[in-house]
Amino acid sequence: MKDIEISIVVPVHNEAAQIPRFFAEVRRLLDDVRFELLFIDDGSTDATWAGIRALRDEDARVGGLRLTRNFGKEAAVWSGIEMARGAAVIVMDVDFQHPPALLPQMIELWRSGKWKIVEARKQSRAREPFWYRMASAVFYWILQRGTGNDFHGSTDFKLLDRAVVDVLKKLPERVTFFRGICSWTGVDRTSIDFEVPAADRQTRWSVMRLIRFSVDAITSFTPWPLFLVALAGVIFTLFSIVLGIQTLYMWASGKAFTGFTTVILLTLIVGAAIMFGLAILGLYVSRLFDEVKGRPRSIALETMTPEVAVSAATPTPDQHG
C-alpha cells in the first residue's frame, strides 16, 4: 500500500466507449505519479469489462472489480475504496463530467500536508436541465437543514487521505451517502471549483433513480425528516385547539351550523397527517431493516489487482502536518 501514492476509483456502468479515452488522459496527466486505476464495473451489459481487461494487458497499473449485478453507484464507490491501496484515494466519474485536468492540482494540495480531503465542487449547474437543478436545490436544502453542512456544488469527485479512508472503512453501515460521510468526518479539507463540461450525451440517471438516491441519502444521513412528523403534530394540535374553541363558541352562541362539514374536513386533514407521518417513519424502518440484515454492499464476480512498480522516493504528505 505504501508503494502506491494515488489510487483512482472509477465506478462504471456501460461505459465501454469512454474508458480508453479516460485512461489515456489520466496516464498523460499522472505520468510522474505512482498510481493505480481501479475501474468498478457495476453490472455493465456492454463490453465495459472486456475494455478494462484490454487496458490491463496494456498497462499493469489498471485493475478493478466486476460486480455480479448493478448494485448502484454508492456501492461501487465503496467497493473501490475498500480495494484501494494508495496513500490517497481519488473517486471520480469516467464520463469527463469530473475533469481529469484537476487531478494534478488536487494531488499537489494533498501533498502539501495541510489537507486530508480535497474536493472538486461544481461552480454552477447552468448546463443541467431546469427540473434537475430545482430538484438538486431542494435535496441539498434538506441536507443542509438536517446536518448544518453546506453541500452546494458538492460532487463525488474527491481526494481522500489514507487516514480518512481507514476511518471510513471502519463504519458499519450498509446504506451510505458518500458526500455526506466525507463531510461528517470533519477533517481539514479544501476545495477546487470547476465548470461542468458540456455533456456529449444525456444523463443516464432516470427520475426514479434520482428519487431513490435522494431518499437513501437523506434517510441514511440525517433524521431531520422525522422532525417533520413532530412539527406536523404540533401544527395540527394547535389547529384542533383553535377549531375546538370556534366550535364551542358557535354552539354556545346558538350559531352552530348543521351538517358534518367540520367533521369531514377535520377527518381528512388528520388522516393525511397520519399517513404522511407513517410514510416517513416507514422509510427509516426500511433503513433499519437493511442495516440489520448486514448484507455486503456488493458482490464481486472477478477481481484484477493492479501491479505498480516500487520507487525509492514516494512524495507523500507529512502525516503530522
Nearest C-alpha neighbor of 228 from the set 152, 171, 283: 283
Nearest C-alpha neighbor of 224 from the set 171, 285, 279, 280: 280
pTM: 0.71
38 and 64 Cβ atoms separated by less than 8 Å: yes
Q: Cα(165)–Cα(73) distance, rounded to whole angstroms?
A: 18
Q: Cα(225)–Cα(212) distance, rounded to whole angstroms?
A: 16
Spatial CB neighbours of 79, under 8 Å, sequence gap ≥ 6: 40, 65, 67, 71, 297, 298, 300
Radius of gyration of the chain (CA): 25
Lookup: cell for 298: 456488493
Give 302's strand partners: 66
So what's the pLDDT on residue 312?
A: 37
So what's the pLDDT on residue 58?
A: 92
Give 64's strand partners: 39, 304
So what's the pLDDT on residue 204?
A: 61
Q: Where are the beta strands (DSSP E) in the chain?
A: 6-12, 35-41, 62-67, 88-91, 117-122, 158-161, 189-194, 300-304
Give 119's strand partners: 158, 191
Pairing of strands 35-41, 62-67: parallel
Name the CATH superfamily, with its identifier, for domain 6-130+153-206: Spore Coat Polysaccharide Biosynthesis Protein SpsA; Chain A (3.90.550.10)
113 and 30 Cβ atoms separated by less than 8 Å: no
Q: Cα(204)–Cα(90) distance, rounded to whole angstroms?
A: 22
Q: Cα(190)–Cα(188) distance, rounded to whole angstroms?
A: 7
102 DSSP 8-state letter: G
- Report domain extents, the chain: 6-130+153-206, 224-293
CA distances from 95 to 11, 34, 43, 49 (A): 10, 23, 17, 16
Each residue's pLDDT, cut to its tens digit, for the chain (321 residues) gives 448 999 999 999 999 999 999 999 999 999 889 999 999 999 999 999 999 999 999 999 999 999 999 888 888 999 999 999 999 999 999 989 899 999 999 999 999 999 999 999 988 655 666 766 777 777 777 767 666 666 777 888 999 999 999 988 988 877 778 888 888 788 899 999 988 776 555 556 566 666 776 777 676 667 777 666 767 777 776 776 777 677 667 667 766 665 555 675 677 677 777 777 777 777 777 777 666 766 666 667 678 888 865 443 444 455 444
Q: Is 227 left (phi over 0), alpha (psi -120 to 50) or beta?
A: alpha
Q: At what angle do helices 207-221 and 73-83 cross, to 10 degrees?
A: 60
